[in-house]
Structure 1
Amino acid sequence: MSILVNTDTKLLVQGITGRDGQFHAGRMKAYGTNIVAGTTPGKGGEDVHGIPVFDSVEEAVRKTGANTSIIFVPAPFAADAILEASYAGIELVIAISEGVPIQDMIKVTSIIEKNGTRLIGPNCPGLITPDEALVGILPGMIFKKGNVGLMSRSGTLTYEVVNMLTKNDMGQSTVVGIGGDPVAGLYYIDLLKMYEADPETEGIVLIGEIGGDAEEQAAEYIAKNISKPVVAFIAGQTAPPGKRMGHAGAIISSGSGTAEEKIKAFAAAGVPVAKEPSEIPILLKEKMAKETV
């Protein structure tokens, strides 16, 4: 089954005629993703890699039945692009754009929730259901179809851990890069619910990082609601307080959001935490074997 994207996904690329939009549309199409349309105002009637371009999302949805959108537009216009997709009836939006103002996202998230639109990102690498659909900037060649669900705030760590899983013959059901911004769309608990309900997902990997309390909330939810094996890794374990480490949300302030607190929360929930990313396949194999006995 997988979660969020599959062979039924009909993808629309917003900003398809720009440099990044063109490049990644070509990569996603080559992977096998069903891209039915692209949009750029004023470029309607053109095509990119054989994909028809429309002036608006509303027109694209009406003529192609697109149900998912990926956004490759500059940060100042990303919020409007998300809203345009939501008002046009798009069910899932993946916002790749980096540097979207927090105030914009605060406004957007409340509106799209009312519209019933789900959002991944912004500032994220997207997601993939191997051999079915790649929606984002992930390197498709490292993924393998399987039964491990993975969610991560870090794009590069996603690639590193997936590569290790694949080399250990542990394929993936769906991998989701949720992004590292402090205000974003679907997060750990939302995805945990989906993985728990997905019959193809038999084990779960959660990659977190310093800053905020999303990992602590996830640990509490896992303890009460998740029956499947879960392992975790927390990035930034040596980061000094007050030092921002890459993501806008990856900062420790007022003594909260530390790696130590997150690791302690997962331990209390019975979730093994890897000291290094290379330990994740080992811990997950052990956890899955133990819980299937």
Structure 2
Amino acid sequence: MRKILVIGIGAGDPEQLTMQAVRALNEADVFFLLDKGHAKRDLIALREEILRCHVRRPGYRVVEDADPERDRTTPTADRSGAYTRGVDDWRRARADIYERLIRDELADGECGAFLVWGDPALYDSTLGILDDVLARGTVAFEHTVIPGISSVSALAARHRTGLNRVGRPVQITTGRRLAEAFPEDADDVVVMLDAHRTYERYADEEDLYVYWGAYLGTPDEILASGPLAGTAERITALREEARERKGWIMDTYLLRRLPRQDPQPPPDA
């Protein structure tokens, strides 16, 4: 039986790997890496650096393949279903690649590994795509998941803040969902996958505070925080400069609605 390890490798710093993740790395015979193109070659380089830092067993192989393109232009709320179809098409294309890699590059009895940015359980498709491959019935394997430090955890740590406050919920959402409305039942909202600077829509709200970070855990890490009304413009400038310089950006932010002040009681008559 082939074995697959889905290893959370943290937000970018090789020192963020857990001891469990390091042990898992040293079990693998083959590491599967998907190349997202020249602009994001840094993501492959960081994974290769993690292997150099932590893998001690000799003779392991690295197999790369091109990540399929995904249509990111259709809004989530599109009534035609184009967004859902686009995601489904992309997942099927990735499943085709995973199926071929596991079948052709991994012998019976060998162990292969996918290195997942952050944590495999948070806004990552690897687990669902592996389930799709298994459902096809064309190649058999067992798989194990090793959790990792997510960009959400790294963001809170770098800003020295908690994600939630006493007795209050925290919601993790996407830029696409935030564009529809600010969640009504949460005053602490973590936003991921925001390619369109959705925070700008709320920059006039004076009771919002923002904790923002890009390239968390990497040498290119950028941080900013403050009242959103006075910080949104600075974040946008930092994003655009970084995107121009590197060709891509990965950022995450926490929007925190500050406590509303209770009105002062009237003085005694």
User: TM-score under structure 1 normalisation?
Assistant: 0.30
User: TM-score under structure 2 normalisation?
Assistant: 0.32
Greater RCO (Cα-Cα under 8 Å, separation 6 or more)? 2
Of structures 1 and 2, the larger Rg is shown by: 2
